Amino acid sequence: MMETENQQIGNQIKPKTTILCSICDLAFIPSEQKTLICTNCIINQTDITIGITKEGIVNYCRFCHRYLRPPWTLCERESKELLSICLKRLRGLNKVKIIDASFVYTEPSSKRIKVKLTIQKEVLNNTNMQQTFICEFVEHYQQCEDCKKEFTPHTWGAAVQVRQRVDHKKTFFYLEQLLLKYNANDKVLKIEQVDDGLDFFYKTRSHATRLVEYLSTILPIRVKQSKQLVSHDASSNLFNYKYVYAVDLPKVCKDDLVILPLKLCKELGGVGRVQLCYKLTTIIHLIDPLSMKCSDLSIEAFSLYENEIEVYNLKTHQHEFTVIDVERIHTRNLNESYISSSQNAFLPKLTKISIIRESNNYLPITIKSHLGDILKPGQVAIGYDLTQMTIESLEDISNYPECIVVKRQINKEARKLRIFKLKRLEAQNVMEEEGAERKRNNQKKQNDQEEQFEEFLDDVEKDKELRKNINLYRDEDKIKKLSKEDLKKKQKKPVQQQQKKNNDDEWQDDDEDEDDIKLEDLMKDLNLEDKPELAEPVDEAQDEINQFITKLEKVTIEK
């Protein structure tokens, strides 16, 4: 049946024809649809999901909890990353427009993943159809390549062996904090601790090379590379190697006493033979305890004269001295360019200090020191006593100072007030020995390492330059145990109360050190794996009722 409607266009009236739908008998304009069926019937009769797969398979590794994209990617359940993996498994989505995609909750034990999709497609002229349907994916267990290697002797593809043949681990403690701060160990498979250093194992050679390049930017190192053939495919001419990078650090550490040969002293500009290492970066920074001139020793020069250089560590040859007087050396009349030169880096901090040995309190000694902003009268300092050391290469010790002060001593009572802590690398100790006597040796080594780490914490606490590359975290257990007075000392003072040292004549005599670590300088230790403990609910109304009852019990009623 055909009907005619009038449509007015300006002054003219144009007839408009409508027909009835052959399915639902609804009148519509056939010129707009160009069919004999109305729009609603077209939507009901058409399925735009035809040609789209509604079932799929997702490969899942149960050991490392990763999904195959490829490559293998770590994804949480119902995450954006997992949704993109599922959508890539569906065929036919390139012909439609995706309006919405979301997960439908399923139990993880069912190994089923359901995705709810809303798509849109143009069915006829100017007719867009939108439809919602659910796709189901099944998790199939498949072991990834990395997990396969864990069950074979070829777990790692490259290793970095960092070695320093010294009696203490001070440099490795500093290296450990650098790796943690800048996340330079994110690709490591495992870390093994040996007597002389650490071994880092990586999956690929590029990851190991990245660590070696990073070490070359922070420490003076020597690198040797070697490789071992693991397998060979003769048909395709493919070789599989294991690469090992041997990274050797010089036997000089911070606070070590270095005796240079005469030839090297001339090459460095006529410096003295007795030097003190005050910092270790890509080069070895030395200071002359007699002239207080600084010099730099490169790793190439050290390697050339390594057999002639003598190194004495502070742990074996340390002596205690009591500071009785500190007098600052003024630098007013000196040229500014002379003061700002690299050789005179410690010139603004130079002092004359009078010290006495702990073993002999009757002979005061006056020496120069570069620790003018650290030492104060009455404190105990640690350093070298050249009169008590046997240095065969030095013919006449009288040309050098009797004592060399290195740093200030921190007593064990002050360690209890320490409010910070450091994170450590998870390293496996592969040098553990068996047997009763060997176990005692292992226990002794462990105690020595703990004491060395405490000494490293002392250096971090008093060295502001050292703390720049280290993340310090709040030790909440020790902070809670502090008294109110001690806690007040660990907080920063207001700006109005801080003393300003603008002139050279002003000297700080307070017991507190400006370089001490304050609570505001520490970071909060956040562990995402730990679940927060639920606090017990506090019913304030019940507490008020209990207080009211106790008051009533004290009231006596007279008859």
> Is 395 or 49 the better-scoring residue by pLDDT?
49
Checking if the pLDDT of 511 tops 50, the result is no
Residue 342 in tokens: 């690299």
What is residue 511's three-state secondary structure?
Answer: coil
User: In which band, very low, low, confident or very high, does the pLDDT at 215 lie, cut at 50, 70 and 90?
Assistant: very high
| Residue among 189, 139, 135, 179 at smallest CA distance from 159 | 189
Q: CB neighbours (10 Å) of residue 335? A: 9
User: In which band, very low, low, confident or very high, does the pLDDT at 187 lie, cut at 50, 70 and 90?
Assistant: confident
**Please, which residues have CB within 8 angstroms of residue 371's CB and are 6 or more apart in sequence?**
349, 351, 381, 405, 407, 408
Checking if the pLDDT of 373 tops 50, the result is yes
**Considering the domain boundaries, does residue 328 fall inside one?**
yes
Checking if the pLDDT of 163 tops 90, the result is yes
Residues 102 and 197 in one domain: no
Please identify, among 229, 248, 267, the residue that sits at the C-terminal boundary of a domain. Answer: 248
The DSSP secondary structure of 279-314, one letter per residue, reads EESSSEEEE-TTT--EEEE-HHHHHHTTTT-EEE-H
User: In which band, very low, low, confident or very high, does the pLDDT at 164 lie, cut at 50, 70 and 90?
Assistant: very high
Residues 200 and 234 in one domain: yes
**Considering the domain boundaries, does residue 477 fall inside one?**
no
Q: Of all residues in the chain, what percent carry a pLDDT higher than 70?
A: 81
Q: Do you find a cis peptide bond into 532, omega within 30 degrees of 0?
A: no
**Cα separation of 286 and 264, whole Å?**
13
pLDDT in the model for residue 532: 41
pLDDT in the model for residue 223: 96
389-394 mean pLDDT:
83
Please state which of the ranges 159-168, 342-351, 453-462, 507-516 shows the lowest mean pLDDT.
Answer: 507-516
Please identify, among 201, 216, 248, the residue that sits at the C-terminal boundary of a domain. Answer: 248
User: In which band, very low, low, confident or very high, does the pLDDT at 558 lie, cut at 50, 70 and 90?
Assistant: very low
189-196 mean pLDDT:
87
> Is 53 or 498 the better-scoring residue by pLDDT?
53
CB 297 within 8 A of CB 268: yes
Please state which of the ranges 4-13, 295-304, 453-462 shows the lowest mean pLDDT.
Answer: 4-13
Q: CB neighbours (10 Å) of residue 204? A: 13
Most confident range, picked from 14-23, 116-125, 222-231: 222-231
Residues 130 and 206 in one domain: no
How many Å from the N-terminal Cα to the C-terminal Cα in the chain?
Answer: 105
Checking if the pLDDT of 238 tops 70, the result is yes
Residues 213 and 298 in one domain: no
pLDDT in the model for residue 430: 66
Residues 346 and 268 in one domain: yes
Residue 389 in tokens: 């050391």
Residue 411 in tokens: 């007593």
pLDDT in the model for residue 437: 62
Residues 303 and 344 in one domain: yes
**Cα separation of 196 and 520, whole Å?**
37
Q: What is the CATH number of the domain that holds 106?
A: 3.10.450
**Considering the domain boundaries, does residue 520 fall inside one?**
no
Checking if the pLDDT of 391 tops 70, the result is yes
- The separation between CA 557 and the C-alpha centre of its own chain, rounded to angstroms, equals 69
**Cα separation of 26 and 241, whole Å?**
76
Residues 138 and 104 in one domain: yes
**Considering the domain boundaries, does residue 547 fall inside one?**
no
Residues 163 and 103 in one domain: no
CB 115 within 8 A of CB 79: no
**Considering the domain boundaries, does residue 375 fall inside one?**
yes
pLDDT in the model for residue 534: 36
**Considering the domain boundaries, does residue 516 fall inside one?**
no
CB 270 within 8 A of CB 281: no
User: In which band, very low, low, confident or very high, does the pLDDT at 140 lie, cut at 50, 70 and 90?
Assistant: very high
Angle at 511 between CA 508 and CA 517, to 5 degrees: 95
**Considering the domain boundaries, does residue 421 fall inside one?**
no
Residues 320 and 374 in one domain: yes
Q: Of all residues in the chain, what percent carry a pLDDT higher than 90?
A: 33
Residue 531 in tokens: 């679940």
Ordered alpha helix ranges (H), 112-161? 145-150
> Is 176 or 479 the better-scoring residue by pLDDT?
176
pLDDT in the model for residue 536: 41
pLDDT in the model for residue 529: 46
Residues 167 and 297 in one domain: no
Ordered alpha helix ranges (H), 228-363? 262-267, 299-304, 314-317, 336-339
265-294 mean pLDDT:
91
Checking if the pLDDT of 158 tops 80, the result is yes
Please identify, among 145, 167, 192, the residue that sits at the C-terminal boundary of a domain. Answer: 145
* Ramachandran angles phi, psi of 489, nearest 5°: -70, -25
Residues 222 and 264 in one domain: no
470-495 mean pLDDT:
78
443-457 mean pLDDT:
85
Number of helical (H) and strand (E) elements in the chain, helices listed first = 15, 27
**Cα separation of 72 and 76, whole Å?**
13
User: In which band, very low, low, confident or very high, does the pLDDT at 142 lie, cut at 50, 70 and 90?
Assistant: very high
> Is 103 or 467 the better-scoring residue by pLDDT?
103
Considering the entire predicted model, what is its pTM? 0.69
pLDDT in the model for residue 425: 87
Residue-wise pLDDT for 280-317, tens only, equals 999 999 999 888 889 999 999 999 999 999 999 988 88
Map tokens 């006493």 to a residue.
257
**Considering the domain boundaries, does residue 6 fall inside one?**
yes
> Is 167 or 164 the better-scoring residue by pLDDT?
164
User: In which band, very low, low, confident or very high, does the pLDDT at 395 lie, cut at 50, 70 and 90?
Assistant: confident
**Cα separation of 459 and 448, whole Å?**
17
User: In which band, very low, low, confident or very high, does the pLDDT at 431 lie, cut at 50, 70 and 90?
Assistant: low
pLDDT in the model for residue 462: 83
Provide the number of structural domains found in the chain.
4
**Cα separation of 176 and 162, whole Å?**
12
Range of the domain at 177: 153-248
pLDDT in the model for residue 465: 83
Residue-wise pLDDT for 31-75, tens only, equals 666 677 787 787 777 888 988 999 999 999 998 889 999 889 999
Residues 137 and 163 in one domain: no
Query: Burial, 152: exposed, middle or buried (Cβ in 10 Å; 0-12, 13-18, 19+)?
Result: exposed
